[in-house]
Amino acid sequence: MVSRGRHPKSAVASVLSKAKAGGFIVKEDHNGHRWGYLRCPTCTHRITVSGTPRNPDSHAKKIEAFIARHGHEDRQMGSTQ
Ligand SMILES: [Zn+2]
C-alpha cells in the first residue's frame, strides 16, 4: 500500500514539494506502480511519478530535470500579446 499525501521516498517527496512551491501541479493518482503526475502549468506537459522507483535518487533527479526544463523564464516576464 502506498500512503496518500506524501510520496513514500523522501528524495522524491522533497523534489515534489519543491515543484509545488514553483507552481507545478502535483496530481496524486495511484495506479499500479504509478504514484501520480507532475504537470507543468505553462505548457501542460507532464511526467509520471512512480510510487516504487527502483532508484529513488535517480527518479528524483529525473523529476528535477523536468522542473528545470520547464522553468519557462518567459512566464515571469509578462505576456507580450
Ligand atoms: Zn512546460
CA of 1 to the centre of ligand 1 (A): 31
The C-alpha angle with vertex 72 and arms to 69 and 73, in degrees rounded to 5, equals: 120
Distance separating alpha carbons of residues 49 and 27, to the nearest angstrom: 9
For residue 17, the surrounding DSSP H or E stretch is helix 10-21
**The pLDDT of residue 3:** 56
The protein residues having their C-beta less than 5 angstroms from ligand 1 (an ion) are 40, 42-43, 70
CA of 19 to the centre of ligand 1 (A): 12
pLDDT in tens, 10-64: 999 999 999 999 999 999 999 999 999 999 999 999 999 999 999 999 999 999 9
**The pLDDT of residue 32:** 95
Task: Quote the cell numbers at residue 61.
Answer: 533527479
**The pLDDT of residue 73:** 74
pTM of the model: 0.84
What beta strand segments (E) does 1-81 contain? 25-31, 34-39, 46-50
Q: Which amino acid is at 68?
A: A
CA of 22 to the centre of ligand 1 (A): 12
- The pLDDT of residue 80 is above 60: no
